[in-house]
Chain A
Amino acid sequence: MARLELRPRLQHPAAWWLWGLGLATAASRTTNPVLLLLVVGVCVVVVAERHDPATVNPLPAFLVIGAVIVVFRIVMTALLGNGFVGQTVVVTLPSVPLPDWAASVRIGGTVTLESLLYAAYDALRLAAVLACLGAANALASPRRLLRYLPATLYDVGTAVVVGLTFAPQLLTDARDVRAARTLRGRDGRGVREMARLTVPVLETAFERSLGLAASMESRGYGRSVRSTTTSRRAATGLALAGLVGVLAGLYGLLDSSAGGVLGLPVLVLGALLAGSSLVVGASRDPRSGHRRDRWTWTATTTVLAGAVPAAVLVIASAGGWPGVVPSQQAQLPEVPLLAVLAVLVSATPAWFTPRPREVAP
């Protein structure tokens, strides 16, 4: 019997994030409720099958937020209407008269099925995108991605890691300080009391941070990041050139009179230049690293499984396939079969990827 002491073998986090982004792209291209619900369903199934039980699962929170968005949008549409005028009147609410300066706004009045459906579909699209992001968060904790930051961001990444380690301790301290406050006869309620609590909590955090800094320093922190004056100057130059390129590209893109054709290429070039400054600025010894995640065939296949629905739906929306943007009729919208199949493909990683192993608590 194997002891429960081994590290779980997890799939490369980037694979899950690329998969999630692919699915999110697919969802953002359609307002068909059947397809969108299918996307949400895929997220739920994959997370249920491959979520690492040792970590918190953020997907339910994302689903709740999505549901709230849908309800909120429907209620707002019923009360305030939207730019979509329909024929099928569901109910007529009492109308509130408004002063002249707000004449373009209406409150109450007739509520049509079409405008409600429009709002619901649109909100559902946002909810589905949220579900994809929630699934990515749940399948590969983004803090695992911090290991893959370029060397230029190594320091910043470490600060985030430190922050992530400190934050739960801070909350524990806050609870303890609040309990200690009652030992001095205070109940710890009210803004002033809350403000009082922050002082010992932060004092403790600073003391801890100094201990940590000393320990990092004496453990050789920062020895393996190599950068020279030349490389740093080159990085600064690239970054500034890239930023200027991005600005110029944006201007070209948004102001069509200034030659919109050149806008996008310049923008992309600028972004590439700026991005390359991250790589040029410093380098780390590439051999160093303990137990990096390995990129396996399942990782590649997972990314592909996410890319399939993205590709199909981008083509579908560009080609104007029926049912991708459904009409707001009181009937089930037409469902493009190929799109359904493509979304279903993205559910396959739930079975062929490695299952995270249980870890002893």
Chain B
Amino acid sequence: MMTGRRVIPLRWPAAVAVGVVGIVGLVAFTWPFFVTADVARDHGNDAPWLFAVLLGLLAVVCLAEVTAGRLDAKTIAVLGVAAAAGGGLRLLSAGTAGLEPMFFVVIVAGRVLGPGVGFVSGALAVTTGALLTGGVGPWLPFQMICAGGIGLGAGLLPVRAGSRVERWALAAYALVTGLVFGLFMNLWFWPFLGTGAPTGMGFVPGAPLQDNLAHYGLFYLATSLGWDLPRGVLNAVLVLVAGPALLRVFRRGARRAAFGVPVVFAPAPGRDAAPHREPAEPHDEPPVVPLHDAEHPR
């Protein structure tokens, strides 16, 4: 594949940023299992809101770090398509209680265009969906991180592009992520329920880890699995059935966008200057204004 696994290269600061945000996200979801009873009692009510604000900020910082100066018009347009496809599917599935076929598009985008694009298009697909349905709320940062992570992971899957294994690996990935997504998203408000949770399924501040885990497991089985399992299965089936065709469409789209195709200016034959080759990702110092990609390495 000549197309850019490097459409948005993940440089080390961006990778660190994604890593740290991932850790904060993990803490935001799993803190009830680790903290002492006092902390949990004091903050059980505020923590979800605190984390919503914090993750909202961090997700945005992370997006800025990943994309800083690396988006040209073509990348933006391709991201726009991925976001629109994800958001549009969200719009379609608004009535079907969380049966989100959106992940399927994010997985394919991440797979074809690399982890950087996977992360950004996941986050943007969720945002677009929320803006389209008017569903902006504190859940948005959590979903952005989750969907971004799913796209990133799809880009990092160690399978060769175009191989037979790819299809099955992606289907399995879709199934697992569908389930894990629900598992995490419920954790966001589970401690918030406190004593409001069903008997034996609630968060008990300060209780041993395995107790709370068991409670949460039961809670998940009782309330959420019924939605998450069909979602995972739907996404996996979609990947199996439409995945190969869609992968080809995305690859073709990336090829036609000519990411990474060299741009060469040569003097007309008969003159003596050497050809002037430009890096594919632009460009030279323009005379008008300093540009944000002006210092790109040659």
Direct contact between the two chains A and B in their complex (CB within 8 A) = yes
Contact residues of A with B, CB < 8 Å? 28, 56, 58, 61-62, 73, 76-77, 79-84, 102-106, 118-119, 122-123, 130, 133-134, 136-138, 141-143, 152-153, 155-156, 158-171, 174, 191-192, 194-196, 198-199, 202-203, 205-206, 208-210, 212-214, 216-217, 221-229, 232, 235-236, 239-240, 242-244, 246-247, 250, 253-256, 260, 267, 271, 274-275, 277-278, 281-282
Residues of A within 8 A of B253 (CB): 202-203, 206, 209
If the complex has contacts A82-B198, A160-B131, A192-B241, are A209 and B20 also in contact, measured as CB distance less than 8 A? Answer: no
B187 in the interface (beta carbon within 8 A): no
Q: Which of B204-238 contact A (CB under 8 A)?
A: 214-215, 218, 222-223, 237-238
User: How many residues of B are counted as interface, with CB atoms below 8 angstroms from the partner's CB atoms?
Assistant: 94
CB contact between B124 and one of A104, A160, A246, A254 (< 8 Å): that residue: A160
* Known contacts A137-B134, A195-B242; A77 and B198 CB within 8 A of each other: yes
- Whether B31 and A254, one on each chain, are in contact in the complex, defined by CB atoms closer than 8 angstroms, is yes
Stretch at the interface among B32-40, B154-162, B171-179, B260-268: B32-40
With contacts A191-B241, A222-B291 taken as known, whether A83 is within 8 angstroms of B199 at the C-beta atoms is yes
Residues of chain A contacted by B290 (CB below 8 angstroms): 226-228
**C-alpha spacing A69/B27, complex, angstroms:** 26
Contacting residue for B77 out of A58, A138, A171, A210, CB 8 A:
A210
CA distance A202 to B237 in the complex (A): 19
Chain B contact residues: over half helix, strand or loop, or mixed?
helix
Q: With a CB–CB cut-off of 8 A, which chain B residues contact A212?
A: 77, 80
Q: Which of B83, B133, B256, B291 contacts A160 (CB 8 A)?
A: B83
| A274–B53 alpha-carbon span in the complex (Å) | 13
Which A residue's beta carbon lies closest to that of B134?
A58
Q: Given A203-B249, A239-B13, do A80 and B64 touch, yes or no (CB 8 Å)?
A: no
The distance from the CB of B253 to the nearest CB of chain A, in whole angstroms, is 4
Check B72–A104 contact: CB distance below 8 A. no
Residue in contact with A223 in the complex, picked from B78, B218, B222, B289, CB distance below 8 Å? B289
**B180 sits at the interface (CB 8 A):** no
> Chain B: which residue is nearest A255 at the CB level?
B35
Asked whether A256 lies within 8 Å of B257 as measured between CB atoms, the reply is no
Q: Measured between C-beta atoms, what is the minimum distance from B76 to chain A in Å?
A: 5
